[in-house]
């Protein structure tokens, strides 16, 4: 549907003439308990509504459905409540429907907010914004010629107003107007006006006439019209189990009919080969598609492949089954709907779900997927790498979640700040230095660095932040003085890992890279770097001594980028070499497996379980002739096991795999996710 | 987007083509040559495309049902017999049936019609079909427009002059018009020879079968990716903004949202995001699909061992149960998430939302989404037990208000039917059971 189609603007004109105060003569029995009543009391007489009441009620129902389904971009003009019931004694001449129609045309010429917005946006193409509308006039006409007179009047008024609008910036010419005349009369009377299908009176105006009895008939008519005007279709949810209060153990099944945009049925229309032509329109709207309720079993949060979501409105909003269904959904539950098939196979085609107080009918795809049997991500680029920092990136994602900022904020220079741009900014800052795999990094494997790493990415630092960063750095200096082991990768060395002082040099380099990436954020970031540089600077002779014998590593100093790339590259060469050596040396299977599982990292260090590094005891001395590998892995294992309590997950793990976030499952009933599966499958 | 190749095997396709200094060719050989080229291209650059082969004369036959096995298609091409006259309408009806049976009415398909521009004679000819087009009833509707989103590519084994000498071109153009203008006619430039057929099919490949390459970005973390199937241009509103929108080749992640908060949003289309390794010339090294070819295999293996951002992102999205919101263009967004198929394989998938400032009412305006660190207090709560979503609409819908429930007279007289309660409590019991089991 075009945004500015006839349905963009609808004006209701309800006749307020004395005749409308007459009874619709459809009786409403309201004295229901007559059977149980004791004898002798005179039953109350049935009542009936006036024509005016019927018209207003039906119009309101039309509006209700429309507003439920199109809360935006569709406008209605109706100012009924203020008018009050018509006065039967008023002079018929002074409240002619003609004034209403003229006012309606006038209103259609006015530019709506949406049109204005679109015109401003399109600039020179503003003429693309259409101005069409619909006038629904509920009246009591005297004859066919009276109807013609009304039509002529509208025609003429449009003509006049278009002339006016052509010379005005605040008005738009009416390109197309649909006049829907509804002639209503009391039940039991004969209609003096005949029905007439849609007819083009002029290029601008089309008109149709409906002659309807008042009361229930008028309401039904407007219900059909709202469906036609706004391209709606109807779905009946069947088999909804509801308990009855008096029989709490049994449940009965009820049906609820909903209205929604007809695109929600697009699959049925196409596959069912029911191409609705213009002629059979009337009939097709009474059809409803039946979908079966599937009682939800779990609260699993799943991402369905949904091709459309359409707002709904119950046909009988006041009926008990309807309100039960809507309340159930509004409480946050989703319901899958099944398409009844002759073959008996079960096809879920729709889902009802509420999002913040609005109920949507989701269309789920039930046909074969063109993306079936895709290559798994583990078979593609990067699929063989097993030590991605999955958990760390998960943490990163949680820190970079989005939230709505509804109040506008302004930058210092007074321009409007776009929250989404702020989000991109933050991602940029947070990823300036972010190694993707565990073996590429030392500092992110160290609990001791966390206080610095988590604040340095911020746009601005507080004094406290700076203090914390400095503390972190002093702590690291302390660790170096005590010669504590680091969770450093063995990549880049042959056989044996780098010496302790070398490890610290790599760690300091990496830390410097991280801090340097952020020094332009603020002067306080600069101070953190200054502190870092001051702390790591060594007496010249010591530095000199260190440099000797490992010139190879000096290349790393060149630039941050080079550090990463170089290490990465080397890691491949070296791990391949290492594997070669292993095969030749016919190492024990168990040992080979350690290598295979994590080709380039020691025991994947986990950030959280690490306790104070300071408490680490000195490393064990080597005993006897053992292979380099077992020597190294024994050392690391003992060192690791002493400096922390065993990770609870590892203690309970099966095949070295522990289930993460078990508490989540308990809380939400979420599906379990296997640890590390994503990276290893 | 699946492809149906509809090949004309009427007698007129056996008309000889004179090529100097070589053996005699028939038009059908030219057609087979062009299709071979198309299949070869797909086999290397567009491997996930499903293709079916239909041949037709006065009857039609599905030679190869939808497959990704291009050898089968190739084989079928070389085993085609010659039949009688061209009868296009029945073939198009056949295409309708085949596509609807396989994919339903919502998946866009490409129909590649290979013909020589001889449209048949008498009943069933295209001229006859078009002449009677306005007198159709519901039961024998003309198959165009196809009852599914489609592109109709007509590959003519004839050059423009030949087609213009009769009314063939006009008729074929009518066909495209009848398909709501979705499609294109290709003709051979210059004399009929293998080279010119190749260039004609080359144009089709450029138009419809070039892989869509993009760069996935999250701040400084990037990966080269192929997006499959190619995202199609999208028209928001014909009247106001008739220019189709095309997605950026930079797919920029702007932030993350929990799956529960995004809650099965409606999407225009779904696409696989496959990491690719580009070498310096910009050619693909591996698309992540294993192949028998040894060179490619080793290239794949090397690429497999280089850390790739897609794999990291996929792993974390899967573990955390989140989606990444990605910007596709001005006021156009989509989401990236992990999608597992029944065989326990999982993949990075991208879904496109409808373009516009507010594609999902429950998230509000996309531009108004910002980082949680800008909020005074964490909207997700300290223990991650809250969520800022869904946004509440400004006005309550009619059913969300405290409605007065009316009871029909019949309901009142039967006290049993007085008050209903949905089976909420039964569901709660189910949850408890589920928890116990897991």
Residues 397-436 of B with CB under 8 A from A: 397-400, 403-407, 409, 411-413, 415-427, 430-431, 434-435
Does A357 contact B100 at a Cβ distance shorter than 8 Å?
no
Does B2 contact A665 at a Cβ distance shorter than 8 Å?
no
Q: What is the pLDDT of residue A96?
A: 64
Average predicted confidence (pLDDT) for chain A: 74
Are the CB atoms for B191 and B20 separated by under 8 Å?
no
Categorize the per-residue pLDDT at A591 as very low, low, confident or very high, splitting at 50, 70 and 90: very low
Distance from CA of A72 to the nearest CA of B (A): 11
Which chain B residue's Cα is nearest to A365?
B106
Cα gap A670→A664, rounded to integer Å? 7
Return the CATH number of the domain spanning residue range B212-280+291-374: 2.40.290
Distances (CA, A) of B172 to B154, B169, B205: 8, 5, 20
Q: What is the pLDDT of residue B251?
A: 92
Least confident of A590-594, B293-297, B337-341: A590-594
Are the CB atoms for A100 and A125 separated by under 8 Å?
no
Q: Please tell me whether the overall predicted TM-score, pTM, comes out greater than 0.90 for this model.
A: no
Q: What is the pLDDT of residue A242?
A: 80
Cα gap B403→B411, rounded to integer Å? 18
Are the CB atoms for B221 and B187 separated by under 8 Å?
no
Alpha-carbon radius of gyration of chain A = 38
Categorize the per-residue pLDDT at B396 as very low, low, confident or very high, splitting at 50, 70 and 90: confident
Sheet holding B3-8, edge to edge: B60-67, B51-56, B3-8, B109-115, B150-159, B183-188
Does A244 contact B304 at a Cβ distance shorter than 8 Å?
no
Best B141, B264, B336, B419 residue to mutate vs chain A (most A CBs within 10 Å)? B264
Q: What is the pLDDT of residue A299?
A: 62
The mean pLDDT of B200-211, rounded to a whole number, is 90
User: Position of tokens 């972190």?
Assistant: A472
Are the CB atoms for A209 and A223 separated by under 8 Å?
no
Categorize the per-residue pLDDT at A618 as very low, low, confident or very high, splitting at 50, 70 and 90: very low
Q: How far is CA A316 from the centre of its chain?
A: 29
Cα gap A421→A429, rounded to integer Å? 12
Is the pLDDT confidence value at A21 over 80?
Answer: no
Point out the residue among B345, B370, B418 whose CB comes nearest to the CB of A419. B370
Is the pLDDT confidence value at A275 over 50?
Answer: no
Q: What is the pLDDT of residue A488?
A: 66
Convert the pLDDT of each residue in B81-128 to its tens digit. 888 888 888 888 899 988 888 887 778 899 999 988 888 777 778 888
Higher pLDDT, B207 or A111: B207
Percentage of chain A lying above the pLDDT 70 cut: 70
Q: Token pair for residue B127? A: 């001229």
Q: Is A384 helix (H, G, I), strand (E, B) or coil?
A: coil
A662 touches chain B (CB under 8 A): no
Cα gap A98→A137, rounded to integer Å? 10
Chain B residues with CB under 8 Å of A418 CB are 367
Cα gap A128→B241, rounded to integer Å? 8
Domain ranges of chain B: 2-209, 212-280+291-374
Does A254 contact B420 at a Cβ distance shorter than 8 Å?
yes
Residue A599 burial (10 A CB sphere; 0-12, 13-18, 19+): buried
Point out the residue among B223, B289, B420 whose CB comes nearest to the CB of A321. B420
The mean pLDDT of A273-281, rounded to a whole number, is 35
Domain ranges of chain A: 9-230, 236-278+285-364, 385-490+499-538
Does A246 contact B415 at a Cβ distance shorter than 8 Å?
yes
Task: Report which DSSP code applies to A208.
Answer: E
Residues 205-244 of A with CB under 8 A from B: 240-244
Cα gap A406→A597, rounded to integer Å? 49
Is the pLDDT confidence value at B221 over 70?
Answer: yes
Residues 348-377 of A with CB under 8 A from B: 351, 353, 355-359, 362-363, 365-368, 370-377
A561 touches chain B (CB under 8 A): no
Cα gap A102→A161, rounded to integer Å? 9
Looking at domain B2-209, its CATH superfamily turns out to be von Willebrand factor, type A domain (3.40.50.410)
Convert the pLDDT of each residue in A495-509 to its tens digit. 556 677 788 888 888
The interface pTM score, or ipTM, of the predicted complex is 0.82
Task: Report which DSSP code applies to A273.
Answer: T
A500 touches chain B (CB under 8 A): no
Are the CB atoms for B142 and B133 separated by under 8 Å?
yes
B323 touches chain A (CB under 8 A): yes
Strand B369-371, strand A402-404: pairing: antiparallel
Which of A21-25, A613-617, A621-625, B255-259 has maximum average pLDDT?
B255-259
Is the pLDDT confidence value at A654 over 80?
Answer: no
Q: How far is CA A23 from the centre of its chain?
A: 50
Which chain A residue's Cα is nearest to B354?
A308
A654 touches chain B (CB under 8 A): no
The mean pLDDT of B219-238, rounded to a whole number, is 86
Point out the residue among A320, A419, A436 whose CB comes nearest to the CB of B367. A419
Residues 37-96 of B with CB under 8 A from A: 48, 50
Does A672 contact B368 at a Cβ distance shorter than 8 Å?
no
Categorize the per-residue pLDDT at A553 as very low, low, confident or very high, splitting at 50, 70 and 90: very low
Convert the pLDDT of each residue in B142-181 to its tens digit. 888 888 889 999 998 888 888 888 888 888 888 898 888 8
Q: What is the pLDDT of residue A87?
A: 52
Strand ranges (DSSP E) for B145-298? 150-159, 183-188, 212-218, 221-228, 250-258, 269-275, 277-278, 284-286
Is the pLDDT confidence value at B350 over 90?
Answer: yes
Q: How many residues does chain B have?
A: 438
Q: What is the pLDDT of residue B110?
A: 92
Does A362 contact B413 at a Cβ distance shorter than 8 Å?
no
Bridge partners of residue B369, in order along the sequence: A404
Point out the residue among A243, A381, A420 whose CB comes nearest to the CB of B276. A381
Strand ranges (DSSP E) for A201-276? 205-213, 232-244, 247-261
Convert the pLDDT of each residue in B399-421 to its tens digit. 887 766 666 655 554 444 334 44
Residues 300-319 of B with CB under 8 A from A: 301, 303-319
Distance from CA of A245 to the nearest CA of B (A): 6
Cα gap A533→B325, rounded to integer Å? 39
User: Position of tokens 């100012």?
Assistant: A79
Does A245 contact B345 at a Cβ distance shorter than 8 Å?
no
Distances (CA, A) of B162 to B82, B173, B191, B195, B316: 22, 15, 11, 18, 59
Percentage of chain B lying above the pLDDT 70 cut: 85
B274 touches chain A (CB under 8 A): yes
A411 touches chain B (CB under 8 A): no
Q: What is the pLDDT of residue A540?
A: 47
Closest to B103 (Cα-Cα) out of B232, B180, B2: B2
Which CATH number is correct for A9-230, 3.40.630, 2.60.120, 3.30.1760, 3.40.50? 3.40.50
Chain A residues with CB under 8 Å of B225 CB are none
What is the CB-side half-sphere exposure of residue B61 using CA atoms within 13 A? Answer: 11
The mean pLDDT of A100-124, rounded to a whole number, is 79
Closest to A52 (Cα-Cα) out of A98, A94, A19: A19
Percent helix, strand and coil across chain B, each to the nearest 5? 35, 25, 40
Q: What is the pLDDT of residue A260?
A: 92
* CA geometry: angle B176, B180, B186, nearest 5 deg: 25
Cα gap A566→A574, rounded to integer Å? 12
**Residue A226, Ramachandran bin (φ over 0: left; ψ between -120 and 50: alpha; else beta):** alpha
Alpha helices in A272-369 (DSSP H): 281-284, 320-330
């Amino acid at each position: 549907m075009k945004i500015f189609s006839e349905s963009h603007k609808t004006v209701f004109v309800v006749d307020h003439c004395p005749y409308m105060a007459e009874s619709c003569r459809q009786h409403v029995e309201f004295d229901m308990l007559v059977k149980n009543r004791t004898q002798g009391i005179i039953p109350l007489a049935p009542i009936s509504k006036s024509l005016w009441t019927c018209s207003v009620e039906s119009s309101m129902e039309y509006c209700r459905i429309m507003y439920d389904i199109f809360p935006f971009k569709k406008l209605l003009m109706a100012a009924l409540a203020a008018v009050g019931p018509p006065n039967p004694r008023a002079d018929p001449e002074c409240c002619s429907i003609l004034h209403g129609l003229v006012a309606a045309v006038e209103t259609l010429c006015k530019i709506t907010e949406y049109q204005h917005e679109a015109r401003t946006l399109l600039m020179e193409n503003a003429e693309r914004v259409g101005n069409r509308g619909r006038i629904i006039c509920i009246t009591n006409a005297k004859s066919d010629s009276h109807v013609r007179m009304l039509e002529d009047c509208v025609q003429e008024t449009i003509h006049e107003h278009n002339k006016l609008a052509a010379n005005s910036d605040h008005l738009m010419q009416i390109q197309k107007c649909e006049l829907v005349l509804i002639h209503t009369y009391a039940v039991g009377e004969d209609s003096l006006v005949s029905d007439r299908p849609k007819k083009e009176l002029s290029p601008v105006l089309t008109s149709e006439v409906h002659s309807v009895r008042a009361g229930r008939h008028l309401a039904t008519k407007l219900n059909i019209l709202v469906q036609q005007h706004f391209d709606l279709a109807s779905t009946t949810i069947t088999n909804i189990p509801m308990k009855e209060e008096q029989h709490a153990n049994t449940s009965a099944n009820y049906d609820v009919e909903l209205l929604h945009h007809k695109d929600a049925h697009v699959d049925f229309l196409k596959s069912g080969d029911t191409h609705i032509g213009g002629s059979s329109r009337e009939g097709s709207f009474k059809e409803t598609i039946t979908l079966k309720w599937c009682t939800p079993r779990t609260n699993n949060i799943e991402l369905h492949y949904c091709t459309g979501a359409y707002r709904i409105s119950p046909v009988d909003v006041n009926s008990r089954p309807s309100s039960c269904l809507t309340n159930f959904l509004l409480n946050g539950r989703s319901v899958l709907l099944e398409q009844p098939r002759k073959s008996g196979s079960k096809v879920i085609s729709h889902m009802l779900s509420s999002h913040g107080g609005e109920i949507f009918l989701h269309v789920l795809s039930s046909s074969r997927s063109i993306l079936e049997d895709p290559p798994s991500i583990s078979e593609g680029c990067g699929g063989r790498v097993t030590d991605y920092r999955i958990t760390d990136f998960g943490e990163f994602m949680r820190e970079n979640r989005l939230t709505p900022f509804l109040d506008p904020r302004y930058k210092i220079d007074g321009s409007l700040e776009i929250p989404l741009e702020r989000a991109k900014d933050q991602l940029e800052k947070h990823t300036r230095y972010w190694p993707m795999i565990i073996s590429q990094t030392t500092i992110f494997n160290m609990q001791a660095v966390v206080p610095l790493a988590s604040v340095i990415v911020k746009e601005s630092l507080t004094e406290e932040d700076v203090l914390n960063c400095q503390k972190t750095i002093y702590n690291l200096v302390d660790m170096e003085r005590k010669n504590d082991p680091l969770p450093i990768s063995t990549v880049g060395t042959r056989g044996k890992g780098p010496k302790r002082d070398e490890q610290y040099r790599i760690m300091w380099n990496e830390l410097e890279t991280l801090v340097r990436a952020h020094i332009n954020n603020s002067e306080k970031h600069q101070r953190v770097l200054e502190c870092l540089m001051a702390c790591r600077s060594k007496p010249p002779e010591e530095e000199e001594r260190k440099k000797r014998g490992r010139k190879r590593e000096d290349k790393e100093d060149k630039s941050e980028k080079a550090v990463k790339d170089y290490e990465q590259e080397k890691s491949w060469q070296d791990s391949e070499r290492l594997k070669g050596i292993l095969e030749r040396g016919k190492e024990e299977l168990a040992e080979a497996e350690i290598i295979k599982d994590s080709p380039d990292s020691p025991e994947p260090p986990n950030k959280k379980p690490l306790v104070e590094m300071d408490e680490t005891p000195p490393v064990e001395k080597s005993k006897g002739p053992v292979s380099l590998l077992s020597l190294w892995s024994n050392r690391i294992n003992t060192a690791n096991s002493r400096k922390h309590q065993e990770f609870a997950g590892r203690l309970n793990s099966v095949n070295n795999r522990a289930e993460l976030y078990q508490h989540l499952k308990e809380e939400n009933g979420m599906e379990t996710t296997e640890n590390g599966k994503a990276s290893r499958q | 987007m699946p492809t149906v190749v509809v090949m004309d095997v009427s007698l007129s396709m056996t008309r000889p083509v004179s090529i100097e200094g070589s053996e005699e060719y028939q038009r059908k050989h030219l057609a087979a040559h062009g299709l071979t080229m198309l299949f070869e291209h797909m086999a290397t650059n567009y491997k996930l495309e499903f293709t079916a082969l239909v041949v037709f004369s006065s009857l039609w036959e599905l030679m190869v049902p939808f497959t990704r096995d291009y050898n089968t298609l190739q084989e079928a091409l070389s085993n085609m017999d010659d039949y009688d006259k061209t009868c296009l309408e029945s073939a198009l009806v056949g295409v309708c049936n085949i596509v609807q049976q396989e994919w339903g009415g919502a998946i866009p398909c490409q129909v590649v019609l290979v013909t020589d521009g001889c449209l048949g004679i008498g009943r069933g000819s295209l001229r006859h079909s078009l002449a009677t087009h306005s007198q159709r009833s519901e039961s024998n509707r003309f198959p165009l427009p196809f009852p599914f989103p489609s592109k109709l590519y007509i590959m003519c084994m004839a050059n423009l002059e030949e087609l213009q000498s009769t009314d063939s071109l006009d008729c074929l153009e009518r066909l495209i018009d009848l398909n709501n203008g979705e499609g294109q006619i290709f003709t051979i430039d210059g004399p009929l020879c293998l080279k010119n057929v190749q260039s004609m099919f080359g144009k089709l490949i450029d138009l419809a079968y070039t892989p869509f390459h993009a760069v996935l970005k999250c701040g400084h973390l990037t990966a080269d990716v192929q997006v499959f199937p190619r995202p199609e241009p999208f028209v928001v509103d014909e009247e106001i903004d008739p220019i189709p929108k095309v997605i950026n080749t930079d797919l920029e992640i702007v932030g993350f949202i929990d799956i529960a908060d995004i809650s099965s949003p409606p999407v225009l289309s779904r696409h696989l995001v496959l990491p690719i390794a580009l070498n310096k010339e910009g050619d693909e090294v591996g698309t992540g699909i294993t192949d028998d070819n040894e060179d490619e295999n080793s290239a794949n293996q090397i690429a497999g061992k280089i850390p790739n951002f897609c794999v990291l992102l996929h792993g974390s999205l899967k573990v955390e149960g989140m989606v990444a919101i990605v910007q596709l263009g001005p006021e156009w967004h989509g989401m990236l998430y992990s999608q597992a198929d029944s065989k326990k394989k999982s993949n990075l998938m991208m879904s496109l939302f409808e373009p516009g400032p507010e594609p999902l009412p429950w998230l509000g305006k996309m531009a108004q989404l910002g980082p949680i660190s800008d909020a005074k207090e964490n909207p997700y709560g300290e223990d991650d037990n809250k969520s800022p979503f869904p946004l509440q609409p400004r006005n309550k819908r009619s059913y969300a208000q405290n409605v007065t429930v009316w009871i029909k007279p019949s309901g009142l007289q039967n006290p049993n039917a007085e008050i209903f309660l949905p089976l909420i409590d039964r569901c709660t019991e189910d949850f408890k059971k589920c928890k116990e089991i897991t």
